[in-house]
């Protein structure tokens, strides 16, 4: 089980993609050329059971495997005050057994079905469980997930509760209490007001985790782990009709609950009053880095094609200028964290030689991008982004995650084709306007991570 982080010095990865690919033709320049021609034929069956469970089945005959993925619209933003970390703790308990699969049998069933290819993630907006299985094992994986939904941590004893809580406490000590967490805490506290749920850590604090009770977990699961608050995705080499029949047999009789609506808080507008700066000591010279974080509007109100075009421009500039030409960084990474209530653009310059020159160069690049006449044509970036979208749909777990993400943000499962169409027509002027509005000259969070010998 894991808490979701971004793919950089402090974290792990998230990918994009869905669909079945057909005959891509890429054009890497602009001007009189027509838009890039790239078609993705989607084969998704979308149904909603009477109990409110949303289901998407995507057949990909080129694979031998399949992924069964269940996402619940509940995350750390629903943690009650003083009980931070509860959503993540409940995720752990979801592997503690069910009515028909007691703890040991549950472990055996999921291990035999997946061969060890399973995991779960908790973050601010949702909690997700996935199993990567041989296609023939999909019915068994569906049975496990139906059990988890119908009978979460059935007859959990106080001893089991205390043992699992100790596991979470140890996870926090080992993975979320060093310099990386100090950095994340500073970024959260700089970007979000005290009352905002994105300000607090998903893992919780030592005190809040230790305060969690068995009754807290039961009440939380009863409130949010209900069919109408869940989305089930199956993608892989499956028979669609047979899979839907199996889903109906296992899930349709699970009753609706009285799910509390997700916590409603105002989106963060994506503006800081001034730069926020700090220095953080890290344990090794190799970890020295300069981090810059720009706040942006929520994913639901930002054109994703233009946003990723801007990110691609900055990434290309950083690689060409900061790394190859000026040699100001050993490497540069740009990542987007797109969430329901806010988006963050992170830049990491590893082992910078001169912080001031790095920041000045990035400022100059943003100034050039804001002036469309000085921004080089983005045909190369546009094509590269489209190729990345296509490459990522080849991975079953990435496709399942993107289907879930699409459903959460747009209510649709066919957004891959929409993303490709949008990316085909992104222009230099679009990127220039976005950079002018949201990035050039805007305050940001700056963190210097200083290596210690």
SS (H, E, C) 306-353: HHHHHHHHHHHHHHHHHHHHCCCCCEEEEEEEECCCCEEEEEEEECCC
Among 60, 78, 84, 91, which one carries the catalytic annotation? Answer: 91
Which pLDDT value is given to residue 452?
Answer: 67
Which pLDDT value is given to residue 408?
Answer: 83
Which pLDDT value is given to residue 304?
Answer: 81
pLDDT tens digit sequence for 168-200: 999 999 888 778 888 999 999 999 988 899 999
The upper half-sphere exposure of residue 101, i.e. CA atoms within 13 Å in the direction of its Cβ, equals 25
Which pLDDT value is given to residue 52?
Answer: 94
Whether the Cβ atoms of residue 183 and residue 64 lie closer than 8 Å to each other: no
Q: Tell me if residue 91 is catalytic.
A: yes
Which pLDDT value is given to residue 368?
Answer: 86
Place of tokens 């970036």: 381
CATH class of 2-29+37-251: alpha beta
Which pLDDT value is given to residue 22?
Answer: 40
Q: Is the pLDDT of residue 360 over 70?
A: yes
Domain range 276-378+426-451, its CATH number among 3.30.830.10, 3.10.450.50, 2.40.40.20, 3.40.50.10540:
3.30.830.10
pTM over 0.75: yes
Helix axes 428-438, 355-370, angle to 10 degrees: 130
Q: Is the pLDDT of residue 10 over 60?
A: no
8/1 Cα distance (integer angstroms): 19
pLDDT tens digit sequence for 279-308: 998 776 567 899 999 999 887 777 888 888
Instruction: For residue 190, give the nearest of 442, 6, 445, 441 by alpha carbon.
Output: 445
Q: Is the pLDDT of residue 257 over 60?
A: yes
Which pLDDT value is given to residue 34?
Answer: 46
Share of the chain above pLDDT 90, in %: 55
- Residue ranges per structural domain of the chain: 2-29+37-251, 276-378+426-451
């Amino acid at each position: 089980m894991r808490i979701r982080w971004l793919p950089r010095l402090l974290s792990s990865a998230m990918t994009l993609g869905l669909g079945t690919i057909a005959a891509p033709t890429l054009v890497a320049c602009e001007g009189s050329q027509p838009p890039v021609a790239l078609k993705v034929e989607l084969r998704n069956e979308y149904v909603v059971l009477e109990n409110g469970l949303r289901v998407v089945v995507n057949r990909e005959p080129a694979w031998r495997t399949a992924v069964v993925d269940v996402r619940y619209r509940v995350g750390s933003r629903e943690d009650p005050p003083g009980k931070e970390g509860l959503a993540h703790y409940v995720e752990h308990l979801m592997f503690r057994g069910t009515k028909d699969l007691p703890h040991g049998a549950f472990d055996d069933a999921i291990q035999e079905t997946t061969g060890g290819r399973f995991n779960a993630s908790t973050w601010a907006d949702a909690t997700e469980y996935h199993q990567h299985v041989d296609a023939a094992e999909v019915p068994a994986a569906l049975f496990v997930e139906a059990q988890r939904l119908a009978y979460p941590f059935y007859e959990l004893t106080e001893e089991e509760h205390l043992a699992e809580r100790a596991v979470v406490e140890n996870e926090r000590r080992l993975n979320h209490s060093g310099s990386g967490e100090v950095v994340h805490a500073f970024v959260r506290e700089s970007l979000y007001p005290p009352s905002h749920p994105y300000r607090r850590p998903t893992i919780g604090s030592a005190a809040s985790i230790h305060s969690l009770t068995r009754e807290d977990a039961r009440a939380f699961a009863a409130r949010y782990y209900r069919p109408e608050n869940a989305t089930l995705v199956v993608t892989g080499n499956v028979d669609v009709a047979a899979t839907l029949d199996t889903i109906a047999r296992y899930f349709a009789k699970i009753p609706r609950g009285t799910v509390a609506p997700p916590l409603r808080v105002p989106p963060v507008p994506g503006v800081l009053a001034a730069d926020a700066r700090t220095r953080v000591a890290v344990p090794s010279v190799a970890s020295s880095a300069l981090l810059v974080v720009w706040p942006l509007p929520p994913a639901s109100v930002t054109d994703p094609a233009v946003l990723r075009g801007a990110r691609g421009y900055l990434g290309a500039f950083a690689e060409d200028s900061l790394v190859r030409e000026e040699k100001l960084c050993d490497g540069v990474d740009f990542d987007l964290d797109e969430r329901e209530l806010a988006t963050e653009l992170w830049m990491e310059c590893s082992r910078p030689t001169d912080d001031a020159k790095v920041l000045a160069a990035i400022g100059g690049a943003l100034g050039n991008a804001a002036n469309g006449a000085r921004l080089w044509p983005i045909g190369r970036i546009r094509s590269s982004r489209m190729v990345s979208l296509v490459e990522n749909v080849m991975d079953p777990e990435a496709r399942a995650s993107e289907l879930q993400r699409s459903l959460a943000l747009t209510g649709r499962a066919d957004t891959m084709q929409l993303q490709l169409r949008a990316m085909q027509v992104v222009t230099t002027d679009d990127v220039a306007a976005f950079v002018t509005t949201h990035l050039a000259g805007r305050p940001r969070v700056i963190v210097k991570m200083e290596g210690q010998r």
